[in-house]
Amino acid sequence: MKFNELVSYCSEKNKAYIDYPFGDIPICFKLGGKIFAQIYPNHDDYKVTLKCDVMTGDFYRQMYPDIVVRGYHCPPVQQPYWNTIYIDKLADEELLNMIDHAYECVFKSFSKKKQKELE
């Protein structure tokens, strides 16, 4: 998936926005102040880190070893909740499913009241 397609897909999520809390890289996508995707657009190391629940994260890591790994930049306690995906090695449809899951994980982390505000 090309960089501009990835940015466009993440940006089109309801109430999602771009933020740069760590500098120019990664490009972070947030919902309600919480990150659901972090894009690292380096040509020789093109990857995205996505939020996930523990079971789904484990599933993807087992299905795609060496393509989907625990969030490489996260402290060990947070690693089960983040997957880093090497984009060029994964089918676009599967990547889009993972982005949808990341967005839903963040959305579901909010209270019912906040969820209604975000809808």
Residues 83-119 have pLDDT tens digits of: 999 998 899 999 999 999 999 999 999 999 999 999 8
Domain ranges of the chain: 3-111
Predicted TM-score (pTM) above 0.85: yes
Q: Which amino acid is at 78?
A: Q
HSE, CB side, 13 Å, CA atoms: give it for residue 29: 27
Q: Which amino acid is at 73?
A: H
Tally Cβ neighbours within 10 Å of residue 40.
17
Residues 7-66 have pLDDT tens digits of: 999 999 999 999 999 999 999 999 999 999 999 998 888 999 999 999 999 999 999 999
CATH fold of 3-111: Aspartate Aminotransferase, domain 1 (3.90.1150)
Tokens of 13: 């999520």
d(CA 88, CA 59): 20
